[in-house]
Structure 1
Amino acid sequence: MARTGAERHRGLGGAAIPTALRWGILGAGLVADDAVAPALREAGHDLAVVASQSLSRAQSFAARHGVRRARGSYDEALAARDVDAVYVALHPAAHEEWAVAALEAGKHVICERPLSTDAGSAARIAAAAVANGCTVMESQPARFHPRTQALLELVDGGDIGQVRLMTVALSQRMRDLDNFRARPELGGGALLDLGTPAIAMARWLAREEPEGVQAVSRRWRTGADGVIAALLSFPSGAVASVAASFEGAAHEVLEVSGTYGAVGTQLAFNAGADDEVTLVRDGREIGSWRADPYPRMLAAFADAAASGREAPLPVEDAVATASVVDAVRTAAG
């Protein structure tokens, strides 16, 4: 296992105090600013360094979030001796380079989704983690929301019978064609950005990998897919309809129909601490939650990394999702 400065103590009465790691953040963009840094603080971690290609941007980020140092070079952040783990918050085309570099520097890594641009690249990141005795995980905060845990338990427990149909859709209007999400050479496109969590959710619910994939897409003049829809068929007979769009208003759909009943929820992927979300089965609310999944995800990851255990969401899961993303891309043509 990589060396770490993290500690885990026992509190009064034997209660476990969550592991605290010393973190470096690569990238000072929206996700790191709005979600990652605040969640690291809330979870009790030490923000040792933030790095950006713009030093002034890194300095502003550090001032806002109480990060001890700002650097204008990712290499400088990875060379720091007081960093146990790194959050890679860069565009997807840069994920493999900097995730592997962090792992080779002996740092544990959480990589913003998607883990990388394709399954081969994702597998190389996974291999680098094994070679260097470090923990790596794709950031999938929705998986750590208690509502998602309840949904998976309900479906796994057979409460709605055998899963027959899953409908998963994410839409977020994106107008800035200079944004990396509109540039395929940087890993942009609705499939990678929004389709990755949607496909992962379908896989988690089905508990198996699809054997058939059909897809259609519409590309923008930048070459990125602005809209994509896919139909995934599973060996059990379950079918998932998955759609991702940069053209429609913000909207999320997650519904699961089984042989005995149906269940659905709202804000399946982007529920924040102030959002009350529910599970509705056959038209009746069966539970409601308010929770910020980011601190939960980071705490679970830190505990696993510090103790040498497998990541709470194994990296193989991200590679499997990337394989389906590749198949959807190929089917869409």
Structure 2
Amino acid sequence: CARIAANALIPGMMRSKVCEVTAIASRSRDKAEEFAERFGIPRTYGSYEQLLSDPEIQAVYIPLPNALHKPWTIEAARNKKHVLCEKPLACNSDEAQEMRNVCRQNGVLLMEAFAQRFHPQNHKVKQLIETGRIGKIVLITSSMSRSPYPEEDIRMNKDLCGGVLMDMGCYCISSARFFIGAEPVSVFARQDISESGVDVRTAATVYFTAGEILHFDTNLYLSEGHFEQGTTIYGQTGNIYIQQGFSQVETHRLGKLVETPLEITNHLVGGRATETILIAPVHQWQLEAEYFADSILQNSGIDFPGEDGVANMRVIDAIMQSARTGKPVDL
């Protein structure tokens, strides 16, 4: 059971009126029972297969190491369970495409768990962009970085498809695609690779169809206990700074709901002005879980289906290829 499940998604589900956490599975039955006691979950299983065979379960959340996303998503789909899969969706776009295909063949939903897409601040930013508040997007700069992981952490394991791009850089890509509303056409990237074979820094430039550019950096170079994130969207007439663009750390780590500020600056020479918009506190993982549950209960489509996860993985694939070859890569 991953840390993100314990600290964010399960508490979010527990806050919801449309989600019911019915069962939990772990390779260790003792661990599953410990988790269940902590959250008041009625059923535990000592294997994933047992949980997937439970006819009362409609959907599953998969927060396993990246390399296990594909096999267990496919197994869940074959058992007719809808799947909310933790990011990144897979180890590469071919795996993601296979996951999407099997879910579609079995009539179940597949959604990648990027909770920031459901936070009202990002919908407000999208609205500001679409109504022309900052003019056409020219550039997005984005960063998500933290102190190093322990060497034994699964995110430092190459065989499990670890690395900082897969763990944090994927947020920068996903959010830029959301705000721009289009897919990239080419990328150029560099990576610092650790002794364990995973990237500890990725810096990339991503070019979009209408000339928009994303510059992002994600790394494990911060001092112990430090975490940094943020996105600035530059338009022809102004910019929007999203201080907590991806994760409300106080919510994730401390269980505290916080206001999130958006700063909008007008670039006019001689008339420069900044406005701050405060977004009321929410639990973005609760909103994510509710959206997914409502889509199942109402038998409706979703705005971020498996195809969206495939598209994000294609960009990640291209970034890795560019970093290996030292050359731009077209998508």
1:177 aligns with 2:127: no
Q: Which amino acid aligns with 1:298?
A: A
Structure 1: 5+ residue stretches without partners? 1-27
Unpaired runs of 5+ residues, structure 2, are 266-273, 325-331
Is the 1:136–1:311 Cα contact (8 Å) retained in structure 2?
no
Q: Is the 8 A contact 2:140 2:232 kept in 1?
A: yes
Task: Give the C-alpha shift of residue 287 in structure 1.
Answer: 3.4
Aligned to 1:256: 233
Residue matched to 2:259: 276
| Counterpart in the other structure of 1:19 | none
Q: How many residues align?
A: 306
Aligned to 1:20: none
What letter is aligned with 1:190?
A: V
Counterparts of residues 147-226 of structure 1 (less than 5 Å): 147-226=121-200
Q: Show the counterpart of 1:30.
A: 3
Shift of 1:187: 1.5
Contact 1:305 1:311 in 2 (8 A): no
User: More relative contact order in 1 or in 2 (CA 8 Å, sep 6+)?
Assistant: 2
Per-residue deviation, 1:89: 0.9
1:158 and 1:287 map into 2 onto residues whose CA distance is 20
1:49 maps to 2:23: yes
| Counterpart check, 1:296 vs 2:287 | yes
Q: Which residue of 2 aligns with 1:315?
A: 306
From 109, 116, 124, give the equivalent of 1:135: 109
Residue 288 of structure 1: CA displacement? 2.8
1:287 maps onto 2:278 in alignment:
yes
Judge conservation of contact 2:190–2:322 (CA < 8 Å) in 1: yes
The separation in 2 between residues aligned to 1:98 and 1:175, in whole angstroms, is: 25
Contact 1:92/1:114 (<8 A) preserved: yes
Shift of 1:125: 1.0
Counterpart CA distance in 2 for 1:269 and 1:277 is 11
Q: What's the TM-score, normalizing by structure 1?
A: 0.89
- Percent of aligned positions with the same letter in both sequences? 28
Q: 1:232 aligns with which of 206, 210, 219?
A: 206
Structure 1 counterpart of 2:329: none
1:76-91 equivalences in 2 (<5 Å): 76-91=50-65
The answer to whether the Cα contact below 8 Å between 1:300 and 1:312 also exists between their aligned partners in 2 is no
- The amino acid of 2:312's aligned partner reads T
Task: Report SS of the residue matched to 1:127.
Answer: helix
Kindly provide the amino acid, as one letter, of the partner of residue 204 in structure 2: A
